[in-house]
Amino acid sequence: MEKIRVGIMPMVPTETSGSFTNNTLALQLVERLSNLPQGNLDIVGPATTANFDMDKIWEEVDAHHLDVLINARFLNVNYRSTVLMEVIRTSDGAHIWVQSFDGNADTEIILNQVEKGLLTSLSALEPELE
């Protein structure tokens, strides 16, 4: 089985969103997912995807041959900062895993959950990659 190409988008809030003020979350995801013992993921990090234009996101997907995107949205919900983490299947744009976190959540909790969500949702890709 070939490696699954995972693109991690830049995760910089446009305004202060809880404890997230820079791209640290994306960089920590790159490190964590690159070192998984399964070794079946090929990680494309935010340094590569940083210059994307949201209107041309699918061009980035094609250019880097990505199977999955991991994205973060920083929202204010009822006057509370929230981080919405998304795992998106690139073949059809379907969100195969989504979870929201309090904007002040511990980064380690978010990283753990994203890792679990990604690994669990990879079964949604298997028919496409065989």
Give residue-wise pLDDT tens across range 92-102: 989 999 999 98
Question: Taking the chain, what is the end-to-end CA distance rounded to the nearest angstrom?
Answer: 7
CA distances from 63 to 7, 58, 83, 85, 90 (A): 11, 8, 28, 23, 12
Give residue-wise pLDDT tens across range 39-92: 889 999 876 555 555 667 777 788 889 999 998 888 887 888 888 999 999 999
Of 22-26, 31-35, 38-42, 46-50, highest mean pLDDT: 31-35
Residue 100's pLDDT is: 94
Over residues 22-50, mean pLDDT: 83
Q: Residue 98: helix, strand or coil by DSSP?
A: strand
The residue that leads in pLDDT, 50 or 109, is 109
What is the value of pTM for the model shown?
0.82
Question: Residue 56 and residue 61: Cα distance in Å, rounded?
Answer: 9
CATH of the domain at 16: 3.40.50.11830
Over residues 105-124, mean pLDDT: 91
Domain holding 9, by residue range, is 4-129
Question: Residue 31 and residue 130: Cα distance in Å, rounded?
Answer: 27
Question: Residue 16 and residue 62: Cα distance in Å, rounded?
Answer: 31
Total structural domains in the chain? 1
